[in-house]
Structure 1
Amino acid sequence: MEEIKPKLAIIGATGYIGKFITAGFITALHANKLSELRVLSTKSSDITKGFADQGVKVQIVDFTATPTLVAAFTGIDIVVSTLGTGPGTKESKLAILDALAASKVKIYFPSEFGTNHYDRCKNYQHDVFEAKKDHFRQAQAKGIKTIALLCSLIMESSFGKWFGLDTAAEVWTLVGKGETPVAVCAEGDIGHFAVEAALKAFKDPTNFPDFVEVYSDMKTMKEYAQAFDNVAGRSTKLEFTPMEQALAHYESTHHQFEYLLQILFEEGAFDCSDAKNKGNELLNPGELVWKLKKIEEYAQETQGRPWKDFS
């Protein structure tokens, strides 16, 4: 009996996270692991034309109009969303959920792809986290198998000034002591993990976990600094902000999200060593499916100076 292969649709394929997740699914399509791949977009662009050239079905939709979404989802088994939390997205996400239910989509991956704010950030009810939690619960309430793929920090966008890591000045300002493990996930690995999660969930949705934590590498911030220094031939100056002072600063910034993440680095929110669901072993046991990208490789790519030209 021929194996049934899923039909999958992606929302947000032209965005930052969407691009490398879509690349993973295009590879899966070409490897005959999917029977169809659709991309939903509000308009045609050079990016969507590039997708079409690779065998992807591009569908132009209005994300606030449920009927157009129902048409786009008809016949689809799995939907993966990378839609953000900006203005207007709340209404779009409600329309998406209505359309998922109406078109009987079996599995939904909402836009998570970050820290495990469900279990590891309970002391902070930040608007970003609460919006994601609400959307997840609403999807489950409609009877849709909903899966949060939690990827910690994105390796290629985490070692910059927005997190207090000034490569150009060779100074990293860390909350606490910088000795807590912090997991990161490479862009390409997120694409791989998303593909494997979708395929495994399609085969056995009942037993596939609702929350899956994955990562490419995990070191302390001190160890990350050393990895970059080893390549650049320099010694980054590490400055430390006491936790009490950091919490006061967080309150004074009206809960700036990037600064909250720096606090969470120290508090262990990105320490996946005790993950309930061993996502790496579930999706890539022993790294036999693909080799994960490690920080040393990224350090070589950036010559030990990531985001050095960022101002």
Structure 2
Amino acid sequence: MSGYTVAIVGGTGTLGNPVTTEFLTTFRSSFPTVRVLVRNPASEKAKDLAVKGAELHKLDEANLSESFDKAFAGVDAIVNTLPHTVSDAEKHALIDAVARSSAKVYFLSEFGVDHRRSDFPGYEVDDWVIKKKIAADTREKVKGKKVVAVYTGIFLQLALAGVIGIDIEKNTFTSYGSPSQKVTLSSLSDIGKALARLSILAIDPATSAKVPDELRIASDTLSFEEVRDVVARVKGVEKGKIVSEDLVAKKEGLKGTQSAPGAILSYIRVLIGEGKLDFSDNSNELINPGESLWKWRTVEDQLRGL
């Protein structure tokens, strides 16, 4: 069977699972071989992916280099969906294995805030400091192949679960700053589709140059006021309460909290208020021109369960 081979690191995680599923389903004809590195091949998620056709590879933490090299043998693309909380040894073993591999494209574990836009001098949240360092180390060590960072805004499913001030159950929408400021929300499945398409474009010599080193995608981009209106329309309820909290005070209050558990959510809400998570300028057309390949999932789609 002709086609490409992709290796997905962390394929049973919150993002990794839907990403892997898209390679195994929507883009199976392009990727007949989908390898997934997992810590526990006996887990329900891992077994479900195997049923769908994934080739499972156990990540042996005592033999990281050997595990990565085996999974990466002959691959065309590598997607890293691991959280930044994995050990430094694992991070650096992964970078070295990517550099040794045959992959033509490697996707960094970004998939969220475009932290290049953040402005917290002296108190930037630890997560983004770590990601910047890992990206720099990777680009320094990995030569002769594309290293790509994909920024997605907030995961659509998490945004509607209340993590950024959208409380659908209470019909209350709390923003930092103006509720008319737009924010990008991206569906987990759309991220998987986008990564598959970007892999195809980056692998093909005829289109590889079109794929930038850093790019943004957006399933839907709308304001808290617009989300409120969508919820009212879909749920058949009155338009909910809008609450606007002082953006300047919220940003000032973050000083000294960069290492605090859970602080990142407040940082993200400040970036939303500052307009730095409005990805209206994105690479959607490169990936899915005119929505000819699939329809990007909207907030309304998600609420209707479409």
In the superposition, the TM-score normalised over structure 1's length comes to: 0.88
Alignment partners' CA distance in 2, 1:272 and 1:47: 32
- TM-aligned CA deviation for residue 203 of structure 1: 0.8
Give secondary structure in 1 for the equivalent of 2:175: strand
- Verify the 8 A CA contact 1:61 1:72 in the aligned structure 2: no
- 1:1-311 matches, cutoff 5 A: 5-28=3-26, 30=28, 32-44=29-41, 45-63=43-61, 65-86=64-85, 88-118=86-116, 120-123=117-120, 125-142=124-141, 143=143, 144-204=145-205, 205-232=208-235, 233-251=237-255, 253-254=257-258, 256-273=263-280, 275=281, 278-301=282-305
Give secondary structure in 1 for the equivalent of 2:25: helix
Per the alignment, residue 306 of structure 1 pairs with none
Post-superposition CA distance 1:12-33 (Å, at most 9, x none): 1111101110111001553x21
Q: RMSD between aligned alpha carbons?
A: 2.1
Percent identity over paired residues: 26
Alignment partners' CA distance in 2, 1:94 and 1:252: 29
Alignment partners' CA distance in 1, 2:132 and 2:209: 21
Alignment partners' CA distance in 2, 1:199 and 1:192: 11
Give secondary structure in 2 for the equivalent of 1:184: strand
Residues 97/150 of structure 1: CA separation in 2 closer, same or farther (3 Å cut): same
Alignment partners' CA distance in 1, 2:132 and 2:61: 20
- Verify the 8 A CA contact 1:147 1:209 in the aligned structure 2: yes
- TM-aligned CA deviation for residue 288 of structure 1: 0.6
Residues 35/299 of structure 1: CA separation in 2 closer, same or farther (3 Å cut): closer
- Verify the 8 A CA contact 1:28 1:195 in the aligned structure 2: no
Q: Which amino acid aligns with 2:146?
A: K
In the superposition, the TM-score normalised over structure 2's length comes to: 0.89
- TM-aligned CA deviation for residue 91 of structure 1: 2.2
- TM-aligned CA deviation for residue 298 of structure 1: 1.9
- Verify the 8 A CA contact 1:29 1:37 in the aligned structure 2: no
Residues 122/249 of structure 1: CA separation in 2 closer, same or farther (3 Å cut): closer
Alignment partners' CA distance in 2, 1:63 and 1:181: 42
- Verify the 8 A CA contact 2:9 2:37 in the aligned structure 1: yes
Gaps of 5+ in 1: 303-311
- Verify the 8 A CA contact 2:168 2:231 in the aligned structure 1: no
Alignment partners' CA distance in 1, 2:229 and 2:274: 21
Residues 225/63 of structure 1: CA separation in 2 closer, same or farther (3 Å cut): farther
Moved more, 15-24 or 235-244: 235-244
- Verify the 8 A CA contact 1:63 1:95 in the aligned structure 2: no
- TM-aligned CA deviation for residue 128 of structure 1: 0.9
- Verify the 8 A CA contact 1:13 1:19 in the aligned structure 2: yes
Alignment partners' CA distance in 1, 2:168 and 2:40: 38
Gaps of 5+ in 2: none
Q: Which amino acid aligns with 1:195?
A: A
- TM-aligned CA deviation for residue 56 of structure 1: 1.7
Q: Which amino acid aligns with 2:279?
A: C
Post-superposition CA distance 1:240-283 (Å, at most 9, x none): 1112221233237556100111111111111122x3xx410000
Give secondary structure in 2 for the equivalent of 1:147: strand
Give secondary structure in 2 for the equivalent of 1:158: helix
- TM-aligned CA deviation for residue 103 of structure 1: 2.7
Give secondary structure in 1 for the equivalent of 2:293: coil
Number of residues of Structure 1 aligned to a counterpart in Structure 2: 294
Post-superposition CA distance 1:103-135 (Å, at most 9, x none): 3432110111112112x2144632111211111
- Verify the 8 A CA contact 2:104 2:202 in the aligned structure 1: no
- Verify the 8 A CA contact 1:77 1:106 in the aligned structure 2: yes
